Amino acid sequence: MESEGRAVQSIYYGRIGSEATERLLERFGHEGSFLLRDSETMPGAYCLCVRKAPFVHTYRLVHATDGWSLQDSGVRLQRFRTLETLIESYRRGTASGPCIASLTDPLDKTQLQVPFGQDFVYMEMK
């Protein structure tokens, strides 16, 4: 994750669970808000979580030797060199592959007004 740019690092919440993710997006986000977290079930993969009322949609991002892509059952999807280019391509609507919920507003963890030690604990990137 350290090789990714500031845009990705600011939306990366580390090892938070799906319930905490939903609470964050419900409390601080709106339609189209999104964040990135570690996958709970697949080591090395990430989850792109997007608020699209009334749900939070989760898309697993996986890495192969030729780059990052959305995980899709058996379908070869467009690969991206970095997570940042993947997210920006889906955000602009230029990525080929499955249609996902609109990514309009990154939920920047540096902008959240949450006192440390309350409901929302996330891992800081070093």
Q: Model's pTM, two decimal places?
A: 0.85
Q: Please, where are the H alpha helices in the chain?
A: 6-9, 18-28, 83-92
Cβ burial of 96 (10 Å; 0-12, 13-18, 19+) is: exposed
Position 107: which residue type?
L
**Domain locations along the chain:** 6-111
Q: For residue range 70-81, list pLDDT tens digits in order.
A: 987 667 688 999
- Residue labelled with tokens 């939070």: 56
What is residue 13's DSSP assignment?
-
3-state SS class at 27: helix
Assess contact for 63 and 51: CB atoms under 8 A.
no
pLDDT band at 117 (very low <50, low <70, confident <90, very high): very low
Mean pLDDT on 57-64 = 94
Q: Percent of the chain beyond pLDDT 70?
A: 85
CATH number for domain 6-111, candidates 3.20.10.10, 3.30.505.10, 3.40.50.970, 3.40.50.11740: 3.30.505.10
Per residue in 6-30, pLDDT tens?
899 999 999 999 999 999 999 999 9
Q: According to the model, what pLDDT value does residue 73 have?
A: 66
Task: Assess whether pLDDT exceeds 50 at residue 125.
Answer: no
User: Which SS3 state, helix, strand or coil, does residue 77 take?
Assistant: coil
